[in-house]
Structure 1
Amino acid sequence: MNQRHERIETRPDIMGGKPVIRGTRITVEQILRKLGAGMTVEQILQDHPRLTVDDIHAAERFAADYLADEDVAFG
């Protein structure tokens, strides 16, 4: 696992190997879709009390890094 993304983990036995916030079953995709649908960070935190603001920002950074360098394989 890339050390730049300590809050993100990818394991085949969790959510089919999709990137999730470490220690949860909340995928990076779920967070991004909620943000894309117009939800605020505060609304996402209300829906998922185990998350922190840092977790949401980590999901955004992970997605940006993934898209910036598609040659990098995570997992």
Structure 2
Amino acid sequence: MQDDALLERITLDPRVMVGKPVIRGTRLTVEYMLKLLASGATIADILDEYHGLTPDDIRACLLFATRALEATTFMPLVATEG
């Protein structure tokens, strides 16, 4: 699936989850999906728990997060001694 088609699965609406990016037609935020994956849940685990989702929905979350971070500049969280 093309990137643009995947990104169409993510919506932002100030009336839904305070405007956080969500999977279209759900109240499942991109942030929540990333936290599930980071905590060790597999795509199969997530699909088993949330029956309306597809693998492309999860890929859309990952792509959205990647795109959101592309133009971000990071500062160290902790000062390092040099």
Query: Normalised by the size of structure 2, how large is the TM-score?
Result: 0.79
Please identify runs of 4+ aligned residues in structure 1 that moved more than 3 A.
none
Total equivalences in the alignment: 68
CA distance in 2 between partners of 1:28 and 1:21 (Å): 7
Unaligned runs of 5+ in 1: 71-75
Distance apart, 1:47 and its partner CA:
1.3
Q: Are positions 1:62 and 2:49 aligned together?
A: no
- Over aligned residue pairs, what C-alpha RMSD do you find? 1.2
Residue of structure 1 equivalent to 2:77: none
Give 2:75's aligned residue.
Answer: none
Give the aligned partner of residue 13 of structure 1.
15
Query: Which digits, 9 at most, give the CA deviation of each residue in 1:7-53, with x for residues without a partner?
Result: 00000000010000011111001100000001000000111111100
Decide which structure has the larger Cα Rg and report it: 2
Greater relative CO, 1 or 2 (CA 8 Å, sep 6+):
1
